[in-house]
């Protein structure tokens, strides 16, 4: 089983890069599952119904959000009806939508995708993600009622992401971090077989400050306040993702590799 998890799509440049590449990636890499984080897809903040539909049409199976998912109010109704769009699972139970996606691949493999939000330095705070996963994994088990479990952890702090990876090692297929937009150099398979990366990076223009126009952000740090509304950088985007291959019987990882394509970062092609 082959899975690709793509980092936060930032603005039009990130969307254009996916539109150009994702269908070919899906075919050439024989991907069974594609997960795309869309937390910054609409001009850098959240996602709109139209953009979410476009990215699904490009070849994504599951979209994840994060702390910006509700920046556009019209997404509330979409979350109720579109099961392929996940909000963080550990948000309050009254929050619209679901953070757990169940799907079956074309090969008949049953997969579970879980989207979680970190607790540290995040504007939205929900249930402890460690407690949440302990409870969820009483219901789902790899090699039992699902063949693989993918966890995308939208969190600020590297230590929290590392801790969750070790906490879930051997119990899920993949734990990958998103939100900080910078790909970390720690892609590996943990001791008990779970693929892990602290942060997968972004699908956006790296001639920027985490996807936003660099001059605006530099000016903010120099002055201490915002002179202009933040806007996404518009140069050629780099697609950053994590490519994982799983054992079909156990659901554990047999291979984990970074995928970096286009733009300023050194390509893995």
Read off the pLDDT of residues 123-156 as tens digits, 9 standing for 90 and up. Answer: 777 899 999 999 999 999 998 999 999 999 999 9
Q: What is the pLDDT along the chain (269 residues), one digit of tens a residue?
A: 999 999 999 999 999 999 999 999 999 999 999 999 999 999 999 999 999 999 999 999 999 999 999 999 999 999 999 999 999 999 998 999 999 999 999 999 999 999 999 999 887 778 999 999 999 999 999 989 999 999 999 999 999 999 999 999 999 999 999 999 999 999 999 999 999 999 999 999 999 999 999 998 999 899 988 777 889 999 999 999 999 999 999 999 999 999 999 999 999 98
* Whole-number pLDDT of residue 207: 98
Residues 6 and 13: their CA atoms lie apart, in Å, by: 14
Q: What predicted TM-score, i.e. pTM, was given to this entire model? A: 0.96
Question: Domains in the chain, please, with CATH?
Answer: 2-261 (3.60.21.10)
Integer Cα distance of 52 and 76 in angstroms? 13
pLDDT at 260: 98
From 68, 72, 115, 179, active-site residue? 68
Contacts of 10 (CB under 8 A, 6+ apart): 40, 41, 44, 181, 202, 203, 204, 205, 210, 211, 212, 232, 233, 237
pLDDT of residue 199: 98
How many Å separate Cα 107 from the centre of its chain?
23
Condensed to tens digits (0 to 9), the pLDDT of residues 176-196 reads 999 999 999 999 999 999 999
Distance CA 165, CA 171 (A): 10
Distances (CA, A) of 119 to 110, 158, 259: 29, 12, 28
- Residue 134: in which H helix or E strand, if any? helix 129-136
Question: Sign of dihedral through CA atoms 160, 44, 3, 240?
Answer: negative
DSSP state of 204: B
Q: Which residues contact 125 (CB under 8 A, 6 or more apart)?
A: 117, 119
The DSSP H or E segment spanning 115 is strand 110-117
pLDDT for the residue numbered 226: 76
**Beta strand ranges found along 118-211 (DSSP E):** 148-154, 174-178, 188-189, 195-197, 202-203
At residue 214, what are phi and psi to the nearest 5 degrees? -65, -35
DSSP symbol at 98: -
Please give the Cα distance from 186 to 229 (Å, whole number). 34
Predicted pLDDT at 132? 97
For the question of residue 181 being annotated catalytic, the response is no
């Amino acid at each position: 089983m082959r899975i690709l998890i793509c980092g936060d799509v930032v603005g039009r440049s990130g969307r254009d890069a996916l539109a150009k590449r994702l269908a070919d990636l899906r075919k050439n890499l024989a991907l069974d599952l594609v997960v795309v984080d869309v937390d910054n897809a609409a001009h850098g903040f959240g996602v709109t119904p139209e953009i979410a539909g476009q990215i699904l049409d490009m070849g994504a199976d599951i979209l994840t959000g994060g702390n910006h998912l509700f920046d556009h109010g019209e997404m509330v109704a979409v979350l109720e009806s579109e099961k392929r769009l996940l909000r963080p699972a550990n948000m309050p139970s009254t929050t619209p939508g679901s953070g757990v996606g169940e799907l079956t691949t074309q090969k008949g493999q049953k997969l579970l995708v879980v989207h979680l939000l970190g607790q540290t330095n995040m504007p939205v705070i929900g249930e402890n993600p460690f407690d949440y996963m302990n409870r969820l994994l009483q219901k789902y088990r790899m090699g039992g009622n699902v063949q693989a479990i993918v966890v995308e952890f939208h969190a600020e702090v590297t230590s929290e992401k590392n801790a969750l990876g070790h906490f879930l090692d051997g119990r899920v297929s993949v734990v990958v971090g998103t939100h900080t937009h910078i790909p970390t150099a720690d892609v590996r398979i943990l001791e008990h077989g779970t693929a892990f990366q602290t942060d997968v990076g972004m699908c956006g223009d790296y001639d920027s400050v985490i996807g936003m126009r660099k001059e605006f952000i530099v000016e903010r740090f120099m002055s201490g306040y915002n002179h202009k509304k933040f806007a996404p950088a518009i140069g050629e985007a780099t697609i950053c993702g994590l490519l994982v291959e799983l054992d079909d019987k156990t659901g554990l990882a047999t291979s984990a590799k970074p995928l970096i394509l286009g733009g300023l970062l050194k390509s893995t092609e």
